[in-house]
Structure 1
Amino acid sequence: MDFTLSDIGEIYRKRIKEFVDKELIPLEKNPDSFDEHENINETLLQALRGKARQQGLWSLQMPRERGGQGLHVADMAPCYEEMNRSIFGPVVFNSAAPDDGNMIILNKMATTAQKDRWLQPIIDGAVRSSFAMTEPPPGCGSDPSMMQTRAQRQGDHWLINGTKHFITGAGVAAHFILIARTSDDSRKGLTAFMFHKDDPGWEIVRRIPIMGPEEHGGHCELRFTNLRIPDENRVMNVGDGLKLTQIRLGTARLTHCMRWLGLSKRALEIANDYVSHRESFGSKMADHEGVQWLLGEAAMNIQIGRLLTMHAAWKLDQGDFARKEVSMAKVVVSETLHKAVDTAIQLCGARGYSKDTPLEWMYRYARQARLVDGASEVHKMVLSKNLLAEGSDFWQWG
C-alpha cells in the first residue's frame, strides 16, 4: 500500500488539526468546560458542533448526499487521530463512539427507509444513539453465543425480554440498535432491531459508575419487559445479528484505534514540552539518556500502532473484513495508549499526576481501551486460532 495521504485526506487532516489547536485544546484548562461526568458540557458542545458543521468538518465518515464528507477509511484515520489530540475532539465532529459505529453500520446495511428514519437524525446531530448488546452474567460479553435477551415473534411484531449492561451512551440516546436471540442456532441465532427511547417496555435501571471519564450518556444497565418492535424495524435478515455485529465492530474497533493514537500523541506532546524546559541535575530533562529512552520507546510504539491501523483501514477500503488486521491494531494501540500516557505522567512527575494537565484524565480513560470492543486476550486468542489454521499464510501479503 502507498502510505502517502490522499490530497483530500491531507486537506481535512490539516483543517481538523487547526480546529483542535485553536478551538478545543484551550478549553481543557477551564473547569467550566466540563460537565459532572468529566466530559465537555452540553452547551459548549453544541456551539462547537455548529462551528465544525459550518467549516465542513462534520460527519467525515458519512456520504455527502446525507450531509457527511464521504471520506474513505484510510482518509479517516489521520483525521480521527487529529481530532482526539483533544479529549473533547471526536464528539465535536460527530465521530465519537457509539454514534460513529452505529452510523457506519446503518449506512452499510439498513434499507433506504430505515436510513431516512433512524440514520439521518444521527448524522444531522439531532439525536444520539446506542448499541445494546453486552449483558450481565450469564449473558454475553465477548462471546455473543451466550446471549440471553430474547426476541419472540408475534405476527408483524417482536417481543423483547432481557437485560443489557455497560451500554454506552444509553442515558442520552434516542435511537438504539438492539441485538437479541431469535433462535438457538449457533451462527444464525441473533437478530438486530431498532427502537426509540419513547417506546414502552424498557427502562434504564441505572447509570453504572466507572473509574474513568464517561462518554455522553454514560454506561447503563437496561431492562426489557415485553418491548414491542415492529418487524419493519429489524435490521438485515432474521438471524443476521451476529453478522451485523461483526461488520460493525470491524470499523468501530479501528476508529477507536485512530482516536487513541491521537490521545497517545497528545500525551507525548505534553511530556515533550515539559522535559524540554524542565531542568534537573544541571541540564534539561530532555538531555538525560533515561528520558530519551522513555520517549523513544513510546514514539516508536505509536508509529507501530499507526502502521497497523492504516494497513487495516486500507484493507477495509478494498472490501476486506480485515479481521486479523483490526484485531492486531486494537491490541497494540490500546496497550500503546496506556503506556504512552503512563510514560508522560512519569516524566511530568507530580504535574502529570495532578489536574494541571489532562494526563490524569487520559490515564483513567486509557484503562478501558484494553477492555472495550473485545479484551486484548480475546483478540490474541482469535489471532492464535487464525495462525493455527493458516500456518505461514497468516502473514500473506495479498
Structure 2
Amino acid sequence: MSETAQPNIFGVSDKAKAIGDKVEAFVRETIAPYERDPRRDHHGAATDELVAEMREKARAAGVMTPHIMDDGSHLSQVDTAYVLIRSGLSPLGPLACNTMAPDEGNMYLLGHVGNDELKRRFLDQLVSGESRSAFFMTEPADWGGAGSDPSMMKTICKRDGNHWVVNGRKTFITGAQGAKVGIVMAKSEEEGAEGACMFLVDLPDPAIRIDEVPNTIDTSMPGGHATITIENLRIPADQMLGEAGEGFKYAQVRLSPARLSHCMRWLGCCIRAQEIAVDYACRREAFKKPLIDHEGVGFMLAQNKIDLKQAELMIYWCASVLDTGNLGTTESSMAKVAVADLLMTIADNCVQVMGGTGVTDRTIVEQVFREIRAFRIYDGPTEVHKWSLAKKLKKGWKVANA
C-alpha cells in the first residue's frame, strides 16, 4: 500500500476521496513528466508558459482548483488535506492544479472576507487559474519594517476623498512578478480606522515597483520573492477588503489555514521523495547486497516512514481543529513546527540514501530538500512559533496560579 493509499481514519468525505484520487492520478501520470521540462526562468521556477500549459491539462482532466467547488464553497480542512497532499506529489502539481501558495491562501481569504463584487472582480480569475496573485505584508529589515512582528508595519495608508493612498516598502513578496491580483497590507492612523488595512489591487500598477527578485534556495514558486517599493498607490475605497483597522484579524483568517496547506503540499513532495529513495536503495547494490539491506540505509528509510505518518497525523489533527470554526493559531503553529522539522529530516535522509545521485537534478529529491529548508522559514520561522507558544504557556500558568 502506498503512503497516499491509507485507510480512511480521519473522516475524509467520499467526495474528497474521489477528488483526491483523481488529482493523484493526474499529478503522477501527466505532471510528473514535466519535471524534466527545461522551461524555467532565471530563478529556476516554471515559466508562465509552462504553468499555462499544465493548467490547460488540469482543466481538461477536471482537477483545476479541486478544493473549491463550482458554487464557491471550500472543502473542509480535513477534506482539503486529502486533496492537497496528493497535489503535492510533484513540486509542479500545486502549480498545475492551482493549489499553490500564495494563491491558495489568497483565495481562502477572499472567499471568507470579500464581498460579492470583490469576489467577482478578483477571486473568480484566481479560482479559474487564469491569474496569479501576491500578498504584500512582509517588509525589509533594513527599513525597520514588519517581518515576524506585524506590529512593526511601516507601510502606511491615508484617506484621500473616496480613495486610500499607500506608501511603503515590502519584501519577500512571493509571486509579485507576473501577478495580476495583489492584496496589500498597510497601517492606518486615521481616527476611527486605526490599525492595519487590506486592499485589493490590479497588477501590474506603476505605483508598485519591483526593485529586485533575489535568487533563493527554493524554486517552486513563479515570480520569486520580490522586494517592492509602493509610491503613492491610489486605491478606491471600495477595494478595501473587509473593514478598516481589521487587517491583522483578517491576516490570521488567512495565515492559520495557509500554514497548514504548506504542510499538506510538502508532505506530498516528501512522500514522493521517499518513494524515489526506496526505489534507489532497493536497486543499487554495494558490498554484495542492496543498499536497503544495510542497516544504516534501511533504518533511515524506516524512520522516514514513521515520520511521514507522524506528519500526516499532525496535519489531520490540526485540520480537524480548524473545521470546528476555531482560528486554530496554536494548533497551526504546532503543526507548522512539527511537520516542517519532520519533513526536513525525511528530505535529508532521502538525499543521504541516494548519495551522489541525491544531490543532482536527476530526480526531484534535491529540489524537495531545498524547498523544505525554505518552508521552515516561510509563514513564520520555527523559532517565532515556539516563542508564541511559550507566551501562551506563561499566560496559562499565570491564570492557573492567580
TM-score range, shorter chain: over 0.9
Aligned to 1:11: 18
**CA displacement 1:100-159 (0-9 Å, x = unmatched):** 000000000011111111111111222211000000121000100000000011121111
Instruction: Return the offset for 1:212.
Output: 2.7
CA contact (8 A) 2:157 2:164 kept: yes
Pick aligned residue for 1:191 from 192, 197, 213:
197
CA shift, 1:303, in A, is: 1.3
* Distance in 2 between residues matched to 1:349 and 1:393, nearest whole Å: 52
**Is the deviation greater in 222-231 or in 205-214?**
205-214
Matched, 1:289 2:295: yes
Identify unmatched segments of 5+ residues in structure 2: 1-7
Q: Which residue is 1:356 aligned to? A: 362
- Tell me the CA shift for residue 258 of structure 1: 0.2
1:128 corresponds to 2:132: yes
Among candidates 161, 166, 171, match of residue 167 of structure 2 = 161
Match of residue 221, structure 2, among 215, 219, 228: 215
Q: Percent identical across equivalent pairs?
A: 36
In structure 1, the partner of 2:311 is 305
Partner residue in 2 for 1:170: 176
Whole-Å Cα distance in 2 between the matches of residues 57 and 16 of structure 1?
6
Pairing of 1:239-278 with structure 2 (within 5 A): 239-278=245-284
Q: Distance in 2 between matches of 1:200 and 1:104?
A: 27
Matches within 5 A, 1:20-39: 20-28=27-35, 30-39=36-45
- CA distance in 2 between counterparts of 1:198 and 1:351 reads 41
Q: Match of 1:71?
A: 75
Which stretch shifts more, 210-219 or 234-243? 210-219
Determine the C-alpha separation between the residues in 2 that align with 1:199 and 1:229.
Answer: 11
Note the alpha carbon deviations across 1:245-303, whole angstroms, 9 max, x for none: 11100111110000010111111111100111111222211122222221122221221
Measured in 2, the distance between the counterparts of 1:231 and 1:100 equals 25
RMSD: 2.1
Counterpart amino acid of residue 49 in structure 1 = R
Counterpart check, 1:81 vs 2:85:
yes
Aligned to 1:201: 207
1:370 and 1:184 map into 2 onto residues whose CA distance is 36
1:93 aligns with 2:97: yes
Pair 373,181 (structure 1): closer, same or farther in 2 beyond 3 Å? same
SS at match of 1:349: helix
CA distance in 1, matches of 2:51, 2:241: 31
| 8 Å CA contact 1:263, 1:337 repeated in 2 | no
Runs of 4+ in 1 over 4 A off after TM superposition: 391-394
Listed as ranges, the gaps of 5+ residues in structure 1 are: none
What one-letter code is carried by the residue in structure 1 that aligns with 2:238?
E
Q: What SS does the aligned partner of 1:50 have?
A: helix
2: distance between equivalents of 1:247 and 1:275?
43
> Secondary structure of 1:224's partner?
strand
Residues 164-173 or 152-161, more deviating: 152-161
Deviation of 1:338 after TM superposition, in Å, equals: 1.8
After TM superposition, give the deviation of residue 33 of structure 1 in Å. 4.7
Alpha-carbon separation, structure 2, partners of 1:350 and 1:43: 32
- TM-score, length-scaled by structure 1: 0.93
TM-superposed deviation, 1:87:
1.4
CA distance in 1, matches of 2:233, 2:33: 45
SS in structure 1 of the partner of residue 387 of structure 2: helix
Structure 2 CA distance, aligned partners of 1:391 and 1:306? 30
Letter in 2 for 1:76: T
Q: 1:340 aligns with which of 336, 346, 351?
A: 346
Q: What's the CA shift string for 1:71-105, capped at 9, x where partnerless? A: 22111112111111111110101110111000000
Structure 1 residue 55 displacement after superposition: 2.4
Letter in 2 for 1:153: R
CA distance in 2: counterparts of 1:190 and 1:46, whole angstroms: 35
Is the 2:46–2:220 Cα contact (8 Å) retained in structure 1?
no
1:307 is matched by which residue type in structure 2?
A: L
Which moved further from structure 2: 51-60 or 151-160? 51-60
Q: Within 1, Cα distance between the matches of 2:164 and 2:40?
A: 40
The question of whether the paired residues in 2 share the 8 Å contact of 1:175 and 1:196 is answered with yes
The one-letter amino acid of 1:355's match is D
Equivalent-residue separation in structure 1 for 2:123 and 2:37 (angstroms)? 34
Say whether 1:234 aligns with 2:240: yes
In 2, the alpha carbon distance for the partners of 1:188 and 1:249 equals: 22
For these two proteins, the number of residue pairs brought into alignment is: 390
Q: Which amino acid aligns with 2:89?
A: R
Query: Which one is further off, 2-11 or 34-43?
Result: 34-43
**Structure 1 residue 393: Cα displacement:** 11
Q: CA deviation at 1:31?
A: 4.2
CA contact (8 A) 1:27 1:33 kept: no
SS in 1 for 2:38: helix
Query: Does structure 1 conserve the Cα–Cα contact (< 8 Å) formed by 2:11 and 2:78?
Result: no
The reply to whether residue 147 of structure 1 matches residue 146 of structure 2 is no
Q: Report the Cα offset of residue 337 of structure 1.
A: 2.1
After alignment, is 284-293 or 325-334 more displaced? 284-293
